[in-house]
A = this chain, B = another copy of it.
Amino acid sequence: MVYTIKDVAKQARVSTATVSRILNNQPGYSEKTKAKVLQVIEELGYEPNAVARGLVKKRTHTIGVLFPSVSSLFSGKLLSGIESVTHAKESSVIVCHTQELGSKTMKYLHLLNEKRIDGLIFASEVLKGEYYDYIQKMGVPLVLLATESPEFQVPYVKVSDYQASYSAARYLIEKGHTKIGMISGGDDVIAGIPRIEGFKQALKDHALLPLNEENIFWGEDFGYKEGKKNFPFLLKRFPNMTALFCASDHLAMGAMSAAVEIGMKIPEDLSIIGYDNLPIAEMATPPLTTVEQPLEEMGKRAAAGLFRMLESGDKMRAEIMPHQIIERKTVKHL
């Protein structure tokens, strides 16, 4: 048997209004009735129905989070951050993994709209016009996480891919490297191009490389297999390379694996630096030097910003999170 506010009211010989007031601690009752009502609540094990409450308050205390994939460490860390602040706000999060399929994304958006979520976090994927328009219609606050939108003005939380890549390259240069290669993860506007540009700029600023870009391999995605597959091609094009910047830790792991398979030693024969600082970076042999994105903190910030928008109504502004080089064992000082 699950009880309602009416049962409580009846048992305590008061009206439902009074019970509701006590529950939401608003004024308008004596200490005596409060005690009585609380006692009845305790006895019955009554818990308010958030669905009914949501209906009248037009607030469900639920936010939606859209990820391309939910099973990667990357999403996991972001989600962990989001979830912890959301829970602290007495709310909960509905996760959706779109598998980067537009149709799935739209279907999720409709579902979330029907559920009348309070707000939305859109993570690590590009915000298409179709999505944006629909979210506008939904009328809920939106924040982008680990991505940004050149097209629409939407608050976001991310590190600067350009600057972080610049840092990675400069780090290698400071360690005495001059022949530096890069394996990129794609040509998307968010994480693809800026990382390449940051890398190139660092080399240029130190008057290092020719401009024909034979030292950059443009991959298809950011995965392990891609890194493993593409490393040999890059090496053939650029055989005297002494250091390599990979646009993700997964790519770096793949490249490292390919390198040791052909008998190279890391970091003696080749220095490698990754990007993300996923837990695997620490577990690699040797442990991977990489540039850290504070993923969990980013998730927290995004959620905190969303709740601020919800509560105060004013817009959140973009937050550029600091990145950081995590020095481990894959870069050799020449």
Contact = CB atoms under 8 A, between A and B. Distances in A.
Contact of A83 (B45, B95, B113, B287): B95
Given A92-B111, A257-B283, A116 B51 contact: yes
Contact of A115 (B50, B139, B296): B50
Interface in A94-121: 94-97, 107-108, 110-116
A71 B79 contact: yes
A282 interface: yes
Contact of A116 (B49, B90, B97, B250): B49
Interface string A257-298: 100100000000000000000011011110100000000100
Nearest to A58: B51
Contacts of A75: 76
A111 B113 CA distance: 21
Contacts of A49: 55, 114, 116
Interface string A115-149: 11000000000000000000001010000000000
Given A76-B76, A282-B224, A284-B285, A70 B51 contact: no
Interface of A: 2, 45, 47-52, 54-55, 60, 62, 69-73, 75-77, 79-80, 83-84, 87, 90, 92-97, 107-108, 110-116, 137, 139, 224, 250, 253-254, 256-257, 260, 279-280, 282-285, 287, 296
